[in-house]
Structure 1
Amino acid sequence: MDEFNAVPHAADIKKGDSEETHSSSWRDCVSAAGIPAVCFYLVFVAASMVIASSYSDFPLLQNLHILTLVLTGAGLTAAGSFTLNNYLDRDVDAVMERTKHRPAAAGRIKPARMLTSGLVQAALGIMILGAVEPVSAVAAAAGLVVYIVIYTLWLKRVSTLHAAAGGLAGAAAPLIGWAAVDPALHSHSWLLFCILFMWYPPHFLASAIQRTEEYRAAGIPVLPVQAGHAVAKRQIVLYAAALLAVTLFLREFGSVYTLTAVCLGAGWLIPGVAGFFLRNNTGWARYMFVYSFPYMTILFIVMAVVHM
């Protein structure tokens, strides 16, 4: 009898397995949607809405439902993009150490289910944005097409220019946010677009230097594989210098923003130049990659704060 009591009931086993499977499936869906990256993306959308409300006299604090809808729509569109990317890249993801544990690459989610999930998320997100402001929905749809068709399906497999395409897709974030408040898209919205576009290639190249051999094994033509680390370093520094210059076109945002932009930009550019004299490319690239996240996050948050 004691031995019998120590064995779970068959129904309990099935129930436990079902709950564990459901929990694991949910975690895999969240992982495929790239939630940390989506949250990072939404910082730019929200900050752009705050800045746009200042230039258009739109009372954003009195219309928090607009903010909520736009963040929900943009978040779903971005999540759908990442899910579709996981579906389409499952073959190369399986080769790379960094991505081989992704749900599609590891076979934990059926490809058809992931495709359906990505399409539903993206479509729902664009519809929500369209209900708020069609121009915002168009910007989101354009970013989606660039990311999935131009970046994932085309350039990533054949050209080092895919880094620029990735920058174009991510740079749609401030246009989505700004258009939701001011569909005329003030010139400042395009400067925000340029800032994010200039930021992505050096951010990506820093990661590519760290994982050169993984990209080589996967057959993805990144610059460090095709031209070497020295060329990739030069590109990173050139982009970092251009990015710092572009951020200063917005110096009318005030002295607090300008000082922040200079300090943050120097924190990326100066170590970037120092990389020419360092032999440890991996350690240098790790710093350049990790620093890129707080760089953009703090910059956009400060932009928003000085306009509140």
Structure 2
Amino acid sequence: MSRQIVTSSDINHYASEKENQTSMAADLKLLFKFPVLIANAVPVFAGFWLAIYFTEASFAANFDLFLLTIIGSTLVMGGALVLNNWYDVDIDTVMDRTKSRPTVTGDMQLRTVFWIGMATSILGLGMLAFTTLEAVIYALIGWFTYVVLYTMWSKRRYTLNTVIGSVSGAVTPLIGWAALEPASHIVPIVLALVIFIWQMPHTFAIAIRKYDDYKTADVAMLPIVHGIEMTKRQMVIYIACLLPLPLFLFSLGTAFVVIATLLNIGYLALALSGLFSSDTRKWADKMFMVSVNYLMVIFIVAIIVTTPLFG
């Protein structure tokens, strides 16, 4: 019986391969902005789940449709995020928060990144085409808004870039719902409004936290152009606009309305405290953390209260 001898060069080769695989996975995670991708996939799932609930359809019977919807929409969103990295490489180079992206480090060629973004987007739209035309339209609106209107046109020119970019996030529950049923129901429309409005204070909190980065990159964020104090006041106004929205969602149950309302009140109270805060950076950090968890709680609670076990 022959015995294979493992040499030190073999061990080094295996270690190098392992390191390369780990590095590639880390690069792809940064390229696709994995946390952002997950945050956008949750409302798609919620939209589909709620459409199942209100139409009294079977999730098991529509599981193939669900897979096409969640994978297809995630690919479209992922493609848009990759193209954002491809286009923004020049400003990412001067911002500390983005210097580790593979487009900046040179670990991935820009031509490769471009084609990854385009191929992923097309593949995702192709999968959604097996659901409904309405779902494809919403996905296209989100993609076009984020890639063209936000990334390529408004981000560097106008403070309204935040409003424009918010459209791309707002379509996510509409995609999920429309894959099963026309999204003319009050629930997906209000949930889309929640995301649209929420993205303004959420993005403003990021812009305040990373003020120096955005100023160095000359990105037209509100606190850079009009100052932090005005940004704080606008955050209060946008969060106040969230207050009445749960009242349109009583069809999700009293528990949901109460939880969402309490979240809105707490969110608004924290925003108001910023008007009197002497440590703006610390306050902005809190606002960011609350805003991230706010949206996840809203959609997770919407899913929970409509499950047979809890509903």
Taking structure 2 as the reference length, what is the TM-score of the superposition? 0.92
Residue 159 of structure 1 aligns to a residue in which SS? coil
For structure 1, the 5+ residue unaligned runs are 1-6
Q: Shift of residue 272 of structure 1?
A: 0.6
User: Does the 8 Å contact 1:96/1:215 carry over to 2?
Assistant: yes
> C-alpha distance in 1, partners of 2:250/2:186?
14
- In the alignment, residue 204 of structure 1 is paired with which amino acid? T
What is the rounded CA distance, in whole Å, between the counterparts of 1:302 and 1:63 in structure 2? 22
Please name the residue that 2:182 is paired with. 183
The offset of 1:12, in angstroms, is: 6.1
1:301 matched to 2:300: yes
3-state SS in 1 of match to 2:156: helix
Equivalence for 1:51: 50
Structure 1 residues 176-196: Cα deviation after superposition (integer angstroms, max 9, x where no partner): 001011035323221111110
Identity percentage over the alignment? 32
* Deviations 1:3-29, CA, capped at 9 Å, x for gaps: xxxx943x7655654553344223212
Change (3 A) 1:21 1:274: same
Greater share of helix residues, 1 or 2? 1
> Any residues of structure 2 matched to 1:220-299 within 5 Å, and which?
220-299=219-298
Aligned match of 2:4: none
2:3: which partner in 1?
none
Deviations 1:280-305 (A, max 9, x none): 11111111111111111111111122
Which whole-Å CA distance do the structure 2 matches of 1:12 and 1:232 have between them? 55
Residue 121 in structure 1 maps to residue 120 in structure 2: yes
Matched to 1:131, the amino acid is F
DSSP-derived class of the 1:214 partner: helix
3-state SS of paired residue (1:37): helix
- Match in the other structure for 1:132: 131
Aligned-residue CA RMSD (Å): 1.9
Measure how far apart 1:227 and its partner are: 0.9
Structure 2 unaligned regions, length at least 5: 1-6
- Mean CA deviation greater in 223-232 or 133-142: 133-142
How far residue 137 of structure 1 moved from its aligned partner, in angstroms, is 1.4
Q: Deviations over 1:140-179 (max 9, x none)?
A: 1110000000000010010000101121011110010010
Q: TM-score, normalised by structure 1?
A: 0.93
1:296 and 1:56 map into 2 onto residues whose CA distance is 24
- Whole-Å Cα distance in 1 between the matches of residues 50 and 217 of structure 2? 41
Matches within 5 A, 1:71-90: 71-90=70-89
Are the aligned partners of 1:171 and 1:194 in contact in 2 as well (CA < 8 Å)?
yes
Q: 2-side partners of 1:236 and 1:114: how far apart?
A: 35
Aligned equivalent of 2:31: 32
1: CA distance between counterparts of 2:160 and 2:75? 27
1:71-127 CA distances to partner (integer Å, 9 max, x unpaired)? 111111111111111111111011111111111122211001111111111111111
Report the Cα distance in structure 2 between the residues aligned to 1:91 and 1:209, rounded to whole angstroms. 21
Amino acid at match of 1:179: A
Determine helix, strand or coil for the equivalent of 2:261: helix
AA in 2 matched with 1:185: S
d(CA) in 1 for partners of 2:203 and 2:45? 23
- One-letter code of the match for 1:222? M
Confirm or deny that 1:216 pairs with 2:215.
yes
* Partner of residue 98, structure 2: 99
* Closer, same or farther: CA 77–100 of 1 in aligned 2, 3 Å: same
Which residue number in structure 2 is paired with residue 62 of structure 1? 61
Q: Equivalents in 2 of 1:199, 1:145: separation in Å? A: 20
